[in-house]
Amino acid sequence: MCDPATALAITSMAMSTASAMQAHRAQNKAFESNAKAANQAKMDEDRAINLQEAQEQEATAAQSIEQDRQTQGLAAKATVAGGESGGFLNNNAVVQDIMRQGLESNTMSGQNLERTQAQLGEQRLGATSRAQSRINSVSKASPMATALKIGSAGVNTTAQYKSGGFGEIEE
């Protein structure tokens, strides 16, 4: 049977080792948990951006259809009015102007959609950067650092043991 000082030194070393290993596991668990949460937040943000993009596309399509309908209605009214007044040559220019305005309106709607989609693309890139930054904010446990902690605890325990810090050493 070993003397009490040796038993205390061995127990102290074992507790230091267990503590270092527990800290190592806890750090790795925190890293994994943080990475999982960051990835989930990124997926949620991407889903919201995709929904917004779909809504913008639907709104632009509906607006384009409505603009086409209004353009056709105005052109039909102008044609009927020209027929009733007898001004066919002048009426043709009016109808062409109405059609041009409708096309310009649809072109602007398409350009606005493209700008919105470009902005949403930038939001996606920002979401990716934020997720990576969040993942990087919690580091994985370093096996080398854990080994050094255990080694340091061993050296300290040995020094304390040899200096009589655990009681009298029987020789």
Q: pTM of the predicted model, to two decimals? A: 0.69
Whose tokens are 């951006």? That residue is: 49
Asked whether the predicted pLDDT for residue 160 surpasses 80, the reply is: yes
Burial profile 62-96: b = 16 or more Cβ within 10 angstroms, e = fewer? ebbeebeeebeebbeebbeebeeeeeeeebeebbe
H or E segment and range at residue 56:
helix 4-85
pLDDT at 122: 96
Task: State pLDDT tens for residues 109-138.
Answer: 999 999 999 999 999 999 999 999 999 999
Asked whether 8 and 166 are in contact (CB, 8 A), the reply is: yes
